[in-house]
Structure 1
Amino acid sequence: MTGRILTPITSTMAKDKAIRKLLGAPVRRGHWGARAGDTLAGWGVKLNGQHIRAKAARTGLPYITLEDGFIGYLTHPSRDPRRLSLIVDRQGIYYDASRPSELEAILNAGDAFPASLLGRAEAAMALIRRWRLSKYNQGRFEVSPETQALIESHKGPMVLVVDQTAGDLSIGLGGASAETFTAMLEAAKAENPDALILVKVHPDVLAGQKKGHFGPESNVANVRLIADDCAPLALIERAAKVYVATSQMGFEALIAEKPVVCFGQPFYAGWGLTDDRQPIARRTAKRNRAELFAAACIGYCRYIDPYTRTPVELEHVLDLLVAERQVPRITAKTTYAVDFSLWKRGFIGNFLEPGAGRVRFVSEVALASMTFAPDDAIAVWGRKLDKLVETLPGHVPVWRIEDGFLRSVGLGSDLRRPSSLVVDGEGIYYDGGRVSLLETFLSTHEFSDRDLARGRALTDKILSLRLSKYNVGSRGSLDFKAKAAGRKVILVPGQVEGDASLRFGSPEVSANGALLQAVRAAEPEAYIVYKPHPDVVSGNREGAVAPEILASCADEIVDAADIIDCLEASAEVHTMTSQTGFEAILRGMPVVTYGMPFYAGWGLTTDRMAASLVRRGRGLPLEALVYAALVAYPRYVEWPSGRSTSPEALTEAMAKAAKKGKRVAARGPVDKLLGKGRKLRYLLSALLK
């Protein structure tokens, strides 16, 4: 486009650089002062859009209609308004069957679609089916136990009838009315006499907050109304046939290869794929599912990375949604978070959403006397409350929370809010004695080419931006090799003694001094560089090594140096369970483990406790380990917004923060004062929640 785009969209959208890039022109809010070369735009077919369309007709300026795409949001827009897609239509809009749209023109043209485009469509549909992706993605992956029991109790097939909210513009513009829904249900009953008829209504309808077209009076004979907030495809997969007026669920049913009966005139009707009770004479071409999908979701929609706000392709957005599905999440009506400090309460809720329901912070003492409902869950920090967990009823799921692997700029003990946490309902990644969700994923997941490509790209980004877990220390050039005079340089990272990762992940060597002695015994000729843990150096945690051990086992001690500089100046890393071992693997360095860290046992390290890791069972490429550990396992949050983010966006933000001088070299008086200020701010935040 040339000139400007004038539109009444919100000021936030008008200022969004991604929207401007997608539209290919500067965006100005409002439509006054239009001049030659400008384009007027309206959102959907709302009244203001109709006024602007009329103005465009009067002035001879081009007009475009904007609308959300078919893969629309990470969750529900009421929870997170960042959109994933945008439609720009110069003729009409897809849900207005009274006039042609660009989508209809693409499908009606009769042109053959390139094989490469159809291949993309088939792959995308397979991904959507596997992960049950939709326009809104807040719903549970599975149907509720009540819905499943209802379906299983019926001996015949299940037929799905999809209700819509009264007043939905797509109903009237799609050739339907309130009477259409009555006729649709009657037809479904008559045409499927032996079937269980499930009427999918909006949850707000049964709650009385919104009006639909069916009410409790429809629950007669073999008809049941359900308001299950699950992924639409979870219901569609169980259906023998799907009846719709104009709902997008009909399109998703086609993706799922289900028979679809249309009582309205939605965009996917009229192409030979649906049973159309209102034929559309204007639509003359015959299309298959791949062609329909390619036209609608690849040719017609434009996509945005919600985290980086950059234009992307459909596949990129699907990758983000798949990762969201893979990230472990609590599903409960009430989640009891036990013994969390007040400052942690200010951010824990951001990581538990969506799915955790109401989060209640309780003490260990209070929890011991509580009675739990079937849909309650417990959240605890790491392995701190093991004795309490052992006393809980077996039906109550327990989720353990810990820092992720890309945490923040600065130390957690300095009260820096984490940008990444893991929530694990099976174990926890640093406990090598039991299986965690991360280990299960690494052991069983079939990594796709796109998974591996994302893992590879994320590795390259982390290396190019020189990031680590905490991003602390002073950067500078180190030259261990010159001092080593030909001896192999081994970096030994210290850890916080008594830390859970040592107690549960390194039963044989669990102290920094013992590790140094073991490394010296294994490598008597090596030049050993010991780097104490930043929390030990800052005085926040224990882990100092006796001077006599340092003197006999370490050739050099580096306190304030940046860990990445240390890695780049070394040839090998020996560690108990430190994440420095993982960061060394990213750089292709040999790593020897003396414990059972999450990255050991996959063929990427030399493991002194290999016999204890045989259950991990298979070798993996580095890209798979990175994808699992940094994409599929943790949940990321950007601050101060508190919204979800991606590891790619977080790495960019961490690099920018580090460049602004926010790295932590040492803990002096100013650092302590700033820490107290942060603590006060977070305490206030927690109290206000």
Structure 2
Amino acid sequence: MNFARTFPLPETVQINLDGVLAEKAKQTGWLPPQGSELLAFLPTRLRFPLIGPALDAVAIKSAELMWNRADGVVGWGVKPLARMAQRLASMRNIPYWSLEDGFLRSVGLGKAGAPPVSMVADDLGVYFDAAKPSRLEELLQCGAEKPDLERARNLHALIIEHRLTKYNHLLDYKISLPASRGRRILLIDQVAGDYSVPGAGADEHAFLRMWNEARAVPGTSVLVKSHPDSVAGYARGYLSHLAGQPNVHFINESVSPHALLDVVDEVWTVSSQFGFDAILRSVPVTTFGVPFYAGWGLTRDWAEGEIATRALHRRTRKISLDAFVAATLLQYPLYVDPVTKRPTTAEKAVDRLVAWRRHALERQGNYLCAGFSRHKRSTVRHMLAGPWSSVTFCGSNPDKKQLEKADYLVRWGQNATLLASEEKLSAAIPVLRMEDGFIRSAGLGSALTPASSMCIDREAVYYDATRQSGLEKLLRAAQFDQSLLERAARLRQRIIEHGITKYNLRSMISPDYHALAAGRPIITVAGQVPDDASLRFGLTNGVSNIELLKIVRKRRPDAFLVYKEHPDLLAGKRKGLSDATVLGETADLVVGDVAVDRLLDASDEVHVATSQLGFEALIRRRQVWCYGLPFYAGWGLTHDGVTPLRPRRTLSLDELIAGVLIVYPHYLSGETGLPCEVEDVIDEIHAARNKKRSLVRRSLHRMGWA
């Protein structure tokens, strides 16, 4: 597995977010008005913290204080707490909305803590309760306008292309089935007691009837998809007791619905979400209950009983697949971005699901993290955790038993004394090296500010010029498509506009560099921590900060020389602060806590050993001179004093940015701890500069808890 990321997928649809949300607000008159104050019971508020953003409510207040001023009440599902909320609304004579997960929810189960990207709010009923009308039923009866139909067609194509389902937590792989001469009918078992079964007007007899009808079809192979909870022994399935019957194959694998839909000809179900997935894949569906997708001409409906009869009689309209997708995935659900905690569109939600699933797939395995300091562990756990991974920590020297249980050994940075032993170990278990990313945080790592980006490399750390890292390998071979290069160009402009650098420190007022230079060219020299690993592995020939400054002075005797001291040295977090007297004799100006972006904007040239300041100068199209071999040197964009040990090709600036900032690092939201993209981190850093935090919150943030 290569831990330089697979290429991020391009945005699904370039769409005006504000315009779509405004149009949605016009079409959804049944929802709480924008800016409403709503009541919900505490368990609901704690378990579903995105209710407020999804509904665009100004506040979700405590329903326990029942006489709180409110515009309505919300409750989740049909359980007792929801019924209490409904009675409260009736008593107060204010509206009530039933909440439920949307049909594209997450990567992982809700009970496992996976954050949702959608939910539904229904003022009439609940979509899985066929006994009475729901708002979804009303929307399907009314049909959709042409713009929604066009969006629905595109959204449907995206879902099929990316093989999305409701939870997206099951692996998608080719499954083997017994040979069959006839059609394969897949029966979907469900958990006994699941409310969606009686809600669809069905019971255990419906499953038995489905079983008997399927076995009576001549020349077919009958398959039964067992529910994962019944396979694990947590619950009873309606059909699980029939396993072992002749000519029937039970599928107990926890596999993506799409993998099964690839190999079957029909799906028969009582009320499972699987039927919805099959409809989207244009696989024929037969229903034995009345789920939300039955009765619209898209399924063959064999449900019996009073509730089923009434529901099917209500659903008089035969609709197209596009109209069905428009109602179920555009008009009915509310989409919310768990990273930004703001309303979003279905298309943006798909982007987020695809990115999260890609992140989770790249993280498959058991990770043993050795020698990590405690303040890093929370961030590392968030970075590596996922539906198919586990993370454990140990001391610097793991024992044989710990290594046997691990798929990967993870270490921070690169320690020269451990390289030889790690190379021997890597024959048995891959060694991954983690380092801070290039847009890290709004604060120093040495000040225990959690990182919002990290680099994970199986080859070598990106600053090791003596060996080929995953980043170097990526930059040497990758073919960057046009959409990625356009994204890189937008990203570069965003970085410049917001003044983004690696640490984004609060700075003192910057001097007027041009006035001080009095017409001379301004040249910035970057100081570094003397024992920094990038100097030791960056082929610098041991050049010190003072030596570098003197070399630049000799080359540019008439320039206005600005020496930028490293923030860790100024903060006293690391040793090696340069002699002020010597600096003053060589440089025209020595600066510390100044705005780095303003300094770079004023500079004509930037000279570095291996400092990232050179990369930040390149982003601003400044001339950069390198006296070592940092990750951004050798690609035709810098003046290089060191020849790379391996041939490097010429890159454009946007190609370098695409590789270094978009593809290679991995990002976490500093606010939510969720995987995200570089643009999300930039927006958070920009917002954080204008936000004052309490002392308690700042302390919790440094520990990775807030």
TM-score exceeds 0.5: yes
Aligned residues of 2:369 and 2:409 also touching (Cα < 8 A): yes
1:319 Cα deviation from its structure 2 partner: 2.7
Aligned residues of 2:371 and 2:397 also touching (Cα < 8 A): no
- The aligned counterpart of 1:211 is 236
- The aligned counterpart of 1:290 is 322
1:476 Cα deviation from its structure 2 partner: 1.0
RMSD (CA atoms): 4.7
Say if 2:159 is the partner of 1:128: yes
CA–CA separation in structure 2 for the residues paired with 1:530 and 1:36: 60
The alignment partner of 2:190 has SS state of coil
**CA 1:277–1:657: 2 relative to 1, 3 Å:** same
**CA 1:282–1:431: 2 relative to 1, 3 Å:** farther
1:572 Cα deviation from its structure 2 partner: 3.5
- The aligned counterpart of 2:348 is 316
Q: Point out the more displaced range, 94-103 or 511-520.
A: 511-520
Partner amino acid, structure 2, of 1:416: T
The alignment partner of 1:414 has SS state of coil
- 5 Å-filtered alignment, 1:114-263, equals 114=147, 117-137=148-168, 139=169, 141-143=171-173, 148=174, 151=176, 161-184=187-210, 197=223, 199-202=225-228, 204-215=229-240, 218=243, 223-228=249-254, 231-233=256-258, 235-237=260-262, 241-263=266-288
**CA 1:445–1:206: 2 relative to 1, 3 Å:** farther
1:379 Cα deviation from its structure 2 partner: 1.6
CA–CA separation in structure 1 for the residues paired with 2:455 and 2:94: 52
Q: Point out the more displaced range, 383-392 or 156-165.
A: 156-165
Q: 1:107 aligns with which of 113, 135, 140?
A: 140
Q: 2:412 aligns with which of 362, 381, 385?
A: 381
- The aligned counterpart of 2:670 is 638
CA–CA separation in structure 2 for the residues paired with 1:196 and 1:397: 43
Say if 2:476 is the partner of 1:436: no
Aligned residues of 1:459 and 1:626 also touching (Cα < 8 A): no
CA–CA separation in structure 2 for the residues paired with 1:118 and 1:531: 57
Aligned residues of 1:14 and 1:29 also touching (Cα < 8 A): no
CA–CA separation in structure 2 for the residues paired with 1:207 and 1:470: 47
Q: Deviations over 1:402-423 (max 9, x none)?
A: 2123333432233333343333
CA–CA separation in structure 1 for the residues paired with 2:663 and 2:530: 29
Say if 2:518 is the partner of 1:482: no
Aligned residues of 2:455 and 2:664 also touching (Cα < 8 A): no
Q: Point out the more displaced range, 509-518 or 425-434.
A: 509-518
The alignment partner of 2:433 has SS state of strand
**CA 1:514–1:489: 2 relative to 1, 3 Å:** same
CA–CA separation in structure 2 for the residues paired with 1:71 and 1:174: 20
CA–CA separation in structure 2 for the residues paired with 1:195 and 1:413: 63
Aligned residues of 2:40 and 2:63 also touching (Cα < 8 A): yes
Partner amino acid, structure 2, of 1:170: S
**CA 1:177–1:240: 2 relative to 1, 3 Å:** same
- The aligned counterpart of 1:469 is 502
The alignment partner of 1:412 has SS state of coil
Aligned residues of 1:158 and 1:239 also touching (Cα < 8 A): yes
What is the identity percentage for the equivalent residue pairs of Structure 1 and Structure 2? 33
Q: 1:85 aligns with which of 112, 118, 141?
A: 118
Q: Deviations over 1:384-406 (max 9, x none)?
A: 34333322364634332221233
- 5 Å-filtered alignment, 1:398-417, equals 398-417=431-450
The alignment partner of 1:151 has SS state of coil
1:489 Cα deviation from its structure 2 partner: 2.0
CA–CA separation in structure 1 for the residues paired with 2:257 and 2:273: 10
- The aligned counterpart of 1:669 is none
Q: 2:589 aligns with which of 549, 556, 559?
A: 556
CA–CA separation in structure 2 for the residues paired with 1:328 and 1:430: 26
1:169 Cα deviation from its structure 2 partner: 1.7
Aligned residues of 2:38 and 2:57 also touching (Cα < 8 A): no
1:619 Cα deviation from its structure 2 partner: 4.0
**CA 1:259–1:21: 2 relative to 1, 3 Å:** closer
Q: Deviations over 1:652-675 (max 9, x none)?
A: 554565557899xxxxxxxxxx9x
1:40 Cα deviation from its structure 2 partner: 4.6
1:377 Cα deviation from its structure 2 partner: 2.5
**CA 1:461–1:371: 2 relative to 1, 3 Å:** closer
Partner amino acid, structure 2, of 1:248: Q
1:119 Cα deviation from its structure 2 partner: 4.1
**CA 1:654–1:282: 2 relative to 1, 3 Å:** same
- The aligned counterpart of 1:584 is 617
Partner amino acid, structure 2, of 1:391: K
**CA 1:595–1:192: 2 relative to 1, 3 Å:** farther
CA–CA separation in structure 2 for the residues paired with 1:179 and 1:628: 59
Q: Point out the more displaced range, 530-539 or 21-30.
A: 21-30
The alignment partner of 1:434 has SS state of coil
Partner amino acid, structure 1, of 2:227: V
CA–CA separation in structure 2 for the residues paired with 1:547 and 1:194: 86
CA–CA separation in structure 2 for the residues paired with 1:54 and 1:461: 50
Q: Deviations over 1:441-471 (max 9, x none)?
A: 996576685x678766665665454443223
Aligned residues of 2:464 and 2:537 also touching (Cα < 8 A): yes
Partner amino acid, structure 2, of 1:352: L
- 5 Å-filtered alignment, 1:502-513, equals 502-506=535-539, 512=545
1:98 Cα deviation from its structure 2 partner: 3.0
- The aligned counterpart of 1:269 is 294
Aligned residues of 1:131 and 1:322 also touching (Cα < 8 A): yes
- 5 Å-filtered alignment, 1:355-394, equals 355=387, 357-367=389-399, 372=404, 376-384=407-415, 385-392=418-425, 394=427
**CA 1:511–1:4: 2 relative to 1, 3 Å:** closer
Q: How high is the TM-score relative to the length of structure 2?
A: 0.76
The alignment partner of 1:180 has SS state of helix
Aligned residues of 1:95 and 1:173 also touching (Cα < 8 A): yes
1:54 Cα deviation from its structure 2 partner: 6.8
1:502 Cα deviation from its structure 2 partner: 3.8
The alignment partner of 1:104 has SS state of helix
Partner amino acid, structure 2, of 1:320: R
Partner amino acid, structure 2, of 1:210: A
**CA 1:111–1:397: 2 relative to 1, 3 Å:** same
CA–CA separation in structure 2 for the residues paired with 1:124 and 1:522: 59
Aligned length: 658
Aligned residues of 1:246 and 1:266 also touching (Cα < 8 A): yes
**CA 1:604–1:53: 2 relative to 1, 3 Å:** farther
Aligned residues of 2:137 and 2:292 also touching (Cα < 8 A): yes
The alignment partner of 1:107 has SS state of helix
Aligned residues of 1:454 and 1:627 also touching (Cα < 8 A): no
**CA 1:407–1:128: 2 relative to 1, 3 Å:** same
The alignment partner of 2:350 has SS state of helix
Partner amino acid, structure 2, of 1:348: V
> Unpaired segments of 5 or more residues in structure 2?
1-31
The alignment partner of 1:105 has SS state of helix
Aligned residues of 2:102 and 2:333 also touching (Cα < 8 A): yes
1:130 Cα deviation from its structure 2 partner: 4.4
**CA 1:424–1:56: 2 relative to 1, 3 Å:** same
Aligned residues of 1:332 and 1:377 also touching (Cα < 8 A): no
CA–CA separation in structure 1 for the residues paired with 2:674 and 2:197: 33
1:329 Cα deviation from its structure 2 partner: 6.3
CA–CA separation in structure 1 for the residues paired with 2:184 and 2:576: 62
- The aligned counterpart of 1:350 is 382
